[in-house]
Amino acid sequence: MKLLTSLLTISLIVLSTSQTSFAQIINSPEITKKPSETESETNKTPNQSESETKQPTSEQIIRYLKLATADQLYLDGKKTAAEKLYREVKQPWEIEKNLTRQTKIAKPFYETEKLSPAGAVYWRTYQSGLKQNLVSKIVVPLQLLVEKQPEFIPGHIHYATALQKQAKTEEALKVLEAAISQYPNEPQLLRVKIAADLADKNWLDASITARQFALFNPQHPEAAEFTQLADQYLENFQSHLRGQLRENAIGSLITGAVGYALTGNLFGPISALETTIMLLRGESAVGESTAKQAQKYLPMVQDQEVLNYVRNVGQKVAAVSGRNEFDYEFYVVMDDQINAFALPGGKIFINAGTIMKTESEAELAGLLAHEIAHAVLSHGFQLVSRGSFTSNVVQYIPYVGGLTGNLIVLNYSRDMERQADTFGTKMLVNAGYAADGVRNLMVKLDQEVAKEKQPEPPAWLSTHPQSKDRISDLENLIIKNNLNRYAYEGVAKHQKISQKVAQLWHQYQQTEEYKERQREDEY
């Protein structure tokens, strides 16, 4: 790790505009440290795993140096040169071999006169189908039109409208989402997407779509209107949730379910009625209250350099989430397993192991984006508000009845996980990171399970099932929506912080607190 860190340092400094000479770098204390000093730092301690002390191979060093070089080029605005290096390091996926990926998105247009000859034929066939009221002559030509000439924005709008008329709302939304991923700054597209969400009573999705347009286009003449719409639809969503909570509260009282809903956990005993009152205060109130209790119970990382790093990455992603009413906060739990969970209102906890075992800032950002997506989409709060207080609320509170390695999270539905994957990946891209951050992390974890023949997957994968299917879904999302996976990775800073976290973890293992928790876990 020391050798890798030193080489990364050399690479970045040589690439920078600094006047420091190469000779000065080579003679720096970090690189000229005596072999005995280096060996003492890398020797395995009783609590260190082989994977934590294993030295990188020459191939790994070259890979990281290329990534570090590409990162600096990317930050310097030399994105073509950076992409070339990223492509040298990242092997193409099978899906990429079978698809022609656009290298440049064509400029959007609305005038039919600009259609290509083939596009004009599809459009005329569609118009003829409208007059004859023939579904086959309406849907099929529009589908071919958006595939062959996606820059023609009315094609997407008419295609989605045609699908909606056939009661195929889900397909219509997919068409609009794919179009918006390529052309996110076209108000007409967004208005149709919002209308489709409202027709399906997806107020939160409508609010987020409107908010993101206003965030990304502050100078656009329609930005203020979209902000107003975002506020209105968010209030509709929150009003709907409050109504559900009141109905559940009345139902619990009628059936006599006013017993203790939260027992033996972070809160101590809280009755179902008290829980309802807390939930009625809203997502932020619930998340803030739970986060405070969690910090009292869990072993937390206090190192400011580590916390600032995680918070900076998290805030960068949260800034493009579309829900600016949340006070996003990021915490690091002193545990060496890869795991993370999101509380309502944007309170995100990750384990120290997540930092140690991810290879880049993009991977860390990908996992944070996934958890932020759960919070932004109100998944946890929705489950709590819909379910009985004696089951869902207890499931919702993390670390009930166990130590940090036994994380209990919400039982998210497949749709919720797919939504978090999709929205998280889009946030990742909008924040300036490579689109495949969380996909790469999932692949790595899946490979570790297969290699070590573990009876159970790592904690984060165990709470996020069907990893192979989801890896495939993420690859399809990235490629078919032309999302850029040859963008910023951020390996140099991440390796430095990862090494520091590993040192903090080894120090923690020598403490009485750790030993006591280990004894408790054995019982």
What pLDDT, on the 0 to 100 scale, is given for residue 99? 63
CB neighbour list of residue 384: distance below 8 Å, 6 or more residues apart: 279, 286, 344, 392, 393, 396, 410
Question: Model's pTM, two decimal places?
Answer: 0.71
**Any idea where the domains of the chain sit in the sequence?**
112-200, 293-522
- Phi and psi at 108, nearest 5°, equal -70, 150
What pLDDT, on the 0 to 100 scale, is given for residue 275? 54
CB neighbour list of residue 137: distance below 8 Å, 6 or more residues apart: 125, 126, 128, 129
Q: H helices of 336-436, where?
A: 352-357, 361-376, 379-386, 392-396, 414-430
CATH topology of domain 112-200: 1.25.40
* CA pair distance 523, 515, nearest whole angstrom: 13
* CA pair distance 348, 340, nearest whole angstrom: 7
What pLDDT, on the 0 to 100 scale, is given for residue 5? 47
What pLDDT, on the 0 to 100 scale, is given for residue 270? 43
Report residue 367 as tokens. Answer: 């996992």
* CA pair distance 358, 364, nearest whole angstrom: 6
What pLDDT, on the 0 to 100 scale, is given for residue 438? 85
What pLDDT, on the 0 to 100 scale, is given for residue 277? 57
What pLDDT, on the 0 to 100 scale, is given for residue 404? 33
Contact 181, 483 (CB under 8 A): yes
The sheet with strand 329-333 has its strands ordered as: 329-333, 347-351, 340-343
Tell me the pLDDT of the chain (523 aa) as tens digits: 444 444 444 444 434 433 333 333 333 333 333 333 433 443 444 444 444 456 778 888 899 999 999 999 999 999 999 999 999 999 889 887 766 544 467 899 999 999 999 999 999 999 999 999 888 899 999 999 999 999 999 999 999 999 989 988 889 988 998 888 788 889 999 999 999 889 888 888 898 888 888 877 778 899 999 999 988 998 888 788 777 666 665 554 433 333 333 333 444 444 455 555 555 667 787 778 778 878 888 899 999 999 999 999 999 999 999 888 899 999 999 999 888 888 888 999 999 999 999 999 999 999 999 999 988 888 877 766 555 333 443 444 444 333 333 333 446 777 778 788 888 998 999 999 999 998 988 887 777 666 655 555 554 454 454 577 888 889 988 887 788 999 999 999 999 999 999 999 999 999 998 888 887 766 5
CA-based nearest residue to 12, from 72, 67, 84: 72
